[in-house]
Structure 1
Amino acid sequence: MANLSEAYDFSLFEDRIGQSTAPIGEPGSREQRQEQKRENVIELPQKELDKNRQPKRHPFRMIAATLCFTVIFATVVSIVYSQVQLTELTEEINIATQQLQEEQSLEVQMSMQASQKMNGAQVEEYAKKELGMSKISEGQVSYVNVVQQDKGTVLQDTDGGSWFDKILSAVESWFA
């Protein structure tokens, strides 16, 4: 632990002149390795290079790909848009349902208050005192006899009318 700064000494990692930098386990010098690498390189003729290059895009394929992308994109956008509309409508329905329930609750509450304020006896008393009304007596009742049947009379025009009216009345007489 005499020298603690060895980890920061970058000169230990530099190439040294005159020493071989060949890793241990690999026989030979640097020149021999470079020669081996050169032997591994294969040069292709120009024809093969042209053949292996990326082919040019056909305009028909580009148009077809663009159309496919456009159709898929439009489909996704329309699905998202319809989901947004569906969500908004559902929210409006929920709000309307909540308002309906509140109004029905208010109606029940008000009808109970009204029934507590006026029962049958109170209404009768109010009618006698304030409006001057009384209960029905036998002299006020009159009976109507409806045993006889009602008679109806159909009046027809005797001057004949137009030829269309005559045809219409003939058809009506067939179904009567």
Structure 2
Amino acid sequence: MANQNIAYDFALFEEKNTAEPIRVPQKKSNVIELPKERLQANRKARLKKYLLPFFAFLVIAGLVGAYINGEVQLYTLTTQLNAAQKTLQEQQDCNARLKLRSDCSLSMEAVENYASQKLGMKPTQEDQVITMQLTNGDKSEVVQKTVEGSWAWLQNIWDTITSFLS
């Protein structure tokens, strides 16, 4: 026990002088009193401090969302366009094939073969052809009297009405 460092405060055992009170140093308060005007100004500044980044975030998020939406629509439309082009190509190929088949079945050779084999018809011969000459047709011409003067417009109306009724 001889090596222990123990210290004693002997002032605690001395008599105290009651005439003079011992002043204990008071701690300073950390609270700062602000007037209401400055308090409101500080609150507005804090609101502005957070409001600008919030709106910037909203704008950036909106732009990113619009970009993603545009890309999705572009992909969808591209897919639909490719499918429509593929269908169009298939239909054009089918149309060409059917047109070729139709042309083959309606050619003059095919018609002559069908007429001779299926229907038993023969090609025309010289003795079957009769040429006829027709006279020039008669011509007729309708002559109408036209009314001239101030009553011509009334006559035109009357003629229009009678042409509708006849």
TM range, smaller chain: 0.3 to 0.5
TM-score under structure 1 length normalisation: 0.42
After TM superposition, the score normalised by the length of structure 2 is 0.44
Larger Rg: 2
